[in-house]
A and B are shown apart, each in its own frame.
Chain A
Amino acid sequence: MDGLDRFLATFFNARIFARYLPDMLAGVWTTIWLAGAVIALGLSLGLALACLRAYGWRIASFFIICFADMGRALPPLVLILIMYFGLPGLGLRMPGPLVLILVLGTVLAAFAEEIFWAGLTSVPKGQWEAGRATGLGFTQTLVQIALPQAARLALPPLVNRVLAISKMTALGSVIGVSEILSVASTAQSFTGSAAPLTMGAIAYVIVFLPLVVLTRLLERRFAWKV
């Protein structure tokens, strides 16, 4: 057996691929719905906080900034471990997927708030003045004029962050959530082969590549000539 054969047998073992395909498909599905829930929670909460911050109420802004700074600074893994293993000691027991969605969704919200906020502050003051001078209220100007322009500016950094956080669903493997990485490492310890990890990598590409392509299309659609 030369080097190439050994490499293929280790990383691309067809028998092992076939054996663990059903488990992997289940893992893929778990990763997809977890990521979907994280994205929905993170983006809507982040957008809501950025809009709230736009009103310039001091106390609200202070708490939003604290939330965004903490959420971006804390490592998600530590939060997940505390919530899953620590909180039951205080009488609050939550299932693994819920812990994962809450932690990653909140972390994404912290980043999304900052990204949307950066977009909002980049909208020229004249745009606000034009809206207000035509009798639109603050909220109307925010929704109709500022947000669409802010969202366009926010899209590229937001996509990067969404992809990064979605891949963090792999942290579910430390609290027994059977997503892609969890399935792969379980299979790896049963078989003693690295092939399940290759399978997991392929699964990630299949899940996330369409998302990347979709956002490219979205970016092109949102672009207007400047």
Chain B
Amino acid sequence: MSRPMLEIVALEKTFGELKVLRDINLRVATGEMVFVIGPSGSGKSTMLRCCNRLEEPTSGAILIDGKDIVGCSSSALNRMRLEVGMVFQGFHLYPHMTVVANVMLAQIKALKRSKDEARERALAMLDRVGLRHRAETMPTQLSGGQQQRVAIARALALDPKVMLFDEPTSALDPELVGSVLAVMKDLKDSGMTMLVVSHEMGFAREAADRVVFMDGGLVVEEGPPEEIFANPKAERTQAFLSRVRA
């Protein structure tokens, strides 16, 4: 395996008495797409949110391109976050700005790009997700699938090294899921490193390089999708997969 772009080392997270993550170790190589599946409450979203410290790890290290983001200063953290794009289940577009302004904001305020430069880049990213023609509309006038693609463009505009997806299609109507997955597939084909928490098993089977099964705050099993889906070794993985297939 080549040098990992994202490496999670001995990550632990507790909320009070509750141990949500226990000794998570995970490496995502450059250009790799890793899918994290598991029952709700298994800690997969918490793990993902630790990767840009939206959730503060209790202990362990998160290395982005070799640099540890745990324990760094808040200004260093803001710079590191530029390298880690995040896509949320609920999109979280800014409702008081146009679509293009949504994609421009962090470019101008955090990356210090000029307005013209940011706008050009924003339009290019919107073009990439097929929404350049909606640049001047307000986010709430878009469908859920379109909003999620704008959210992806907003993250991409900062030229991240890694993209995190937190159940990106779970809030979408079934007929809108495909458009978001198509954008993710295109991203993968362009060599983006991606860590995805999702229930889209079909997409995982088709596009993921590796699937990680989590349960009870632990990584129970990981491997290529064919292997995990066809011959899961662990009992818990078998039980989970038979439940979601049923």
User: DSSP majority for the A interface?
Assistant: helix
B88 CB contacts on chain A under 8 angstroms: 126, 129-130
By the criterion CB–CB under 8 Å, are B81 and A132 in contact? yes
By the criterion CB–CB under 8 Å, are B92 and A144 in contact? no
Residues of chain B at the chain A interface (Cβ within 8 Å): 52, 54, 74-75, 78-79, 81-82, 84, 86, 88, 90, 92-96, 105-106, 109-111, 138, 140-141, 151, 154-155, 158
Q: Can you name the residue of chain B whose Cβ is closest to the Cβ of A226?
A: B140
Interface-centre pick from B54, B84, B92 (highest chain A CB count, 10 A): B92
A148–B81 Cα distance when bound, in Å, is 23
By the criterion CB–CB under 8 Å, are A130 and B92 in contact? yes
B155 CB contacts on chain A under 8 angstroms: 133-134
By the criterion CB–CB under 8 Å, are B82 and A148 in contact? no
A225–B138 Cα distance when bound, in Å, is 8
Number of A-B residue pairs having CB atoms within 8 Å of each other in the complex: 72
A129–B89 Cα distance when bound, in Å, is 12
Looking at the assembled complex, report how far the CB atom of A212 sits from the nearest CB atom of chain B, in whole angstroms: 24
A152 CB contacts on chain B under 8 angstroms: 96
For residue A137, CB closer than 8 A to chain B, the reply is yes
- Number of A interface residues, CB 8 Å? 21
For residue A14, CB closer than 8 A to chain B, the reply is no
For residue A140, CB closer than 8 A to chain B, the reply is yes
Sample (18) of A-B pairs whose CB atoms are under 8 Å apart? A127-B94, A129-B86, A130-B88, A130-B154, A132-B81, A134-B81, A134-B106, A134-B110, A134-B154, A135-B78, A136-B105, A136-B109, A137-B75, A137-B110, A148-B96, A152-B96, A224-B95, A224-B140
By the criterion CB–CB under 8 Å, are A135 and B79 in contact? yes
A124–B95 Cα distance when bound, in Å, is 11
A129 CB contacts on chain B under 8 angstroms: 54, 86, 88, 92
- A167-226 CB contacts (< 8 Å) to partner B: 224-226
By the criterion CB–CB under 8 Å, are A133 and B110 in contact? no
**Which 5 interchain pairs have the tightest Cβ spacing?**
A134-B106, A135-B110, A130-B92, A126-B92, A133-B86
For residue A10, CB closer than 8 A to chain B, the reply is no
Q: 1/0 per residue A44-74: CB within 8 Å of B?
A: 0000000000000000000000000000000
Looking at the assembled complex, report how far the CB atom of A125 sits from the nearest CB atom of chain B, in whole angstroms: 9
A145 CB contacts on chain B under 8 angstroms: 94, 105
Given contacts A144-B105, A224-B138, A225-B140, are A137 and B78 in contact (CB under 8 A)?
yes
Looking at the assembled complex, report how far the CB atom of A199 sits from the nearest CB atom of chain B, in whole angstroms: 44
A225 CB contacts on chain B under 8 angstroms: 138, 140-141
A149 CB contacts on chain B under 8 angstroms: 94-96
Interface-centre pick from A126, A127, A130 (highest chain B CB count, 10 A): A130
A133 CB contacts on chain B under 8 angstroms: 52, 54, 81, 84, 86, 155
A152–B138 Cα distance when bound, in Å, is 16
Looking at the assembled complex, report how far the CB atom of A183 sits from the nearest CB atom of chain B, in whole angstroms: 44
Q: Can you name the residue of chain A whose Cβ is closest to the Cβ of B109?
A: A140
A144 CB contacts on chain B under 8 angstroms: 105, 109
